[in-house]
Chains A and B, each alone.
Chain A
């Protein structure tokens, strides 16, 4: 009983300390600055961005693709590891679910920022053409948001009941909210059966939906006849890229949560080692698709394509391209191949590098292609042949990233980051197994 109490003590959400408050205030300030920039963009129009007839998709779309990719972590860690009965996932899944929810919500918001006229949002549904990948995106993103929320919510039910009891005296208001959210969870057989069945359905469902989301995201590009996007390889390329981005975000966040919440007993080196191997596998798969994506065009490139590849390999985008490929992908693989590289601290840095690399990778996918159309536009100003985001674009993008971090921070503040009931159940099961072994 005491062990159970200790687990609950360790895992219940705790109040913000000073550092947390400063962190939240910083995020709110960044969001407010971005909001002002966005209002200005609404008033003056997309003219305030540096997007023109050539680079008609810029940093917003790169950011959108990054968020979509990161949201894949819910599918990968929660669903795949659950269906393959990998029990080491337990302390990691909640954080993965939170990242997934935050990222997919922000993906939806980011695409609206890029569309420029939020008042016309309904037209996407009213005038939707089912042949258009844009319409598929409009359908799949809300679907994935709802599924991700359900994936986060169902396993939380027993924990909400625990939190309700826990805060009954300390904070009755919070206890009441947790009580409402627990949906009268008593842990009876019928509830457990319904919960178990529902989680299993979501775990199965989120895999094809997650794959569809990434595929549609890739098809947004590959159905557009453009140099660099015109590839049958694009959907698996995006899926493997999302695998990397999601896991990178998960590793980084798990390290921070472990350190700030002092969860070293729950998230151990063993978990980092497992995650490290998982990330290495993801990076290797992504590297394979990268080689496919750039090597074959290198052999078969016609004039337009060779100019595009030249821009990436030796031209104006070469620094970002090689940094993303070598530092953001090859270096993590090398480090993760060694056991020491899969320790928490190196893993944190690797995760951070992978996340930053993943963000810039989306920029490299989106922008250089747009600057090399098959039919160049005549008589446009020279400046339109180049693209670098304007101050508005940077401020708004930083605000969206801050918003994602704020959602994650608030979730971590009010939700148990490690499933309490499941940890207790697993411990019980371990004790039963131990007893059985002693008796036998």
Chain B
């Protein structure tokens, strides 16, 4: 009887230990939630789209890890009031883009500053996080001109709310390329008192059909974010298509076999197999000339 009691006691202790340890583990798991770092940049393309470039990362075991698949909500903050604009989810690289329909879709505060907040509500693995971003609405008016047979790109940078020129800010002039843009002009091209710059573009830059896509960029500005104007200028040297895809080459598909191979190989095949057929017919002839008196 005493042994039986002992057995029950031990059984109860073991069961309790199991549940307690599971609970502790669960609590531990909850306490080990990681912080999420949010990064948000405002990008505006003149006469094009405007969006927030958002990236989420976390430091796990002293390593920066991209946080994928988390849902973020974007709010427009006007004074103390918050208005939800929409949701986005980060991709495998922990990145996402939130497109703004137009600048009129958001409301600025009394200082003509647009305030947006990116909010992550947290989940089982990550803590709640938030990132605020403020910017003013700037505009770049860029065009291509020719002066004394030299090609120039001119640009005027203005604050769209006040219509005032933005002075002493550096604009990048660059030609769109396949991987990274090709910078033109000096390293820094500061706007004058009229918010204006003029940059010569050298001849001979290759472009498809001689067309260059030139970007004038206010890059990652503290007040205005990134603003980009695109100018199409037919001032490049046309790229000559050296693609041999349509030609009859040794490396072309089989329907583009070089003619000399087609002719030579087929002549050989016909020559060889023609002779073989002739030889086989000779066998038949031998078979038939059993009683020949020739």
Residues of chain A touching chain B, judged by Cβ–Cβ distance below 8 Å, are 127-131, 136, 139, 143, 146-147, 150, 153-154, 157, 183-186, 188-191, 193-195, 197-198, 201-202, 205, 209, 212
Q: Report B277-289 CB contacts with A as 1/0, cut-off 8 Å.
A: 0111011011111
Partner of A201, one of B262, B275, B291: B275
Contact B276 A157 (CB under 8 A): no
* 14 residue pairs from A and B, CB less than 8 Å apart: A129-B254, A130-B254, A130-B265, A131-B252, A157-B286, A183-B283, A183-B286, A188-B289, A188-B290, A189-B294, A191-B286, A191-B289, A201-B278, A202-B279
Partner of B286, one of A139, A194, A201: A194
Q: How far is the CA of A193 from the CA of B293 in the complex (A)?
A: 12
Q: How far is the CA of A127 from the CA of B268 in the complex (A)?
A: 20
Q: How far is the CA of A314 from the CA of B258 in the complex (A)?
A: 44
Contact A188 B293 (CB under 8 A): yes
Q: How far is the CA of A385 from the CA of B23 in the complex (A)?
A: 52
Chain B contacts for A150, CB-based, 8 A: 276, 279-280
Residues of chain B touching chain A, judged by Cβ–Cβ distance below 8 Å, are 250-254, 257-258, 261-262, 265, 268-269, 272-273, 275-276, 278-280, 282-283, 285-294
Q: How far is the CA of A105 from the CA of B172 in the complex (A)?
A: 71
> Looking at A185, A194, A201, A209, which has the most chain B CB atoms within 10 Å of its CB?
A194
Contact B261 A130 (CB under 8 A): yes
Add 18 more A-B contacts to A150-B276, A205-B275 (CB < 8 A).
A127-B254, A129-B254, A130-B261, A131-B250, A131-B252, A139-B269, A147-B276, A150-B280, A157-B286, A184-B288, A188-B292, A190-B289, A194-B285, A194-B289, A198-B282, A201-B279, A202-B279, A205-B272
Q: How many A-B residue pairs have CB under 8 A?
A: 77
Partner of A191, one of B265, B275, B276, B292: B292
CB distance from B267 to the nearest CB of A (A): 12
Contact B265 A198 (CB under 8 A): no
Chain B contacts for A128, CB-based, 8 A: 254
CB distance from B285 to the nearest CB of A (A): 6
Q: How far is the CA of A404 from the CA of B6 in the complex (A)?
A: 82
Chain A contacts for B273, CB-based, 8 A: 143
Which residue on chain A has the smallest CB distance to residue B264? A130
CB distance from A217 to the nearest CB of B (A): 16
CB distance from B282 to the nearest CB of A (A): 5
CB distance from B235 to the nearest CB of A (A): 39
Partner of A129, one of B257, B285, B288: B257
Chain B contacts for A201, CB-based, 8 A: 275, 278-279
Contact B292 A189 (CB under 8 A): yes
Chain B contacts for A195, CB-based, 8 A: 282, 286
Q: How far is the CA of A150 from the CA of B293 in the complex (A)?
A: 26
Which residue on chain B has the smallest CB distance to residue A209? B272
Contact A146 B294 (CB under 8 A): no
Given contacts A136-B265, A201-B279, A202-B279, contact A190 B272 (CB under 8 A): no
Contact A186 B272 (CB under 8 A): no
CB distance from B271 to the nearest CB of A (A): 9
Q: How far is the CA of A10 from the CA of B227 in the complex (A)?
A: 101
Q: How far is the CA of A128 from the CA of B262 in the complex (A)?
A: 12
Chain A contacts for B282, CB-based, 8 A: 194-195, 197-198
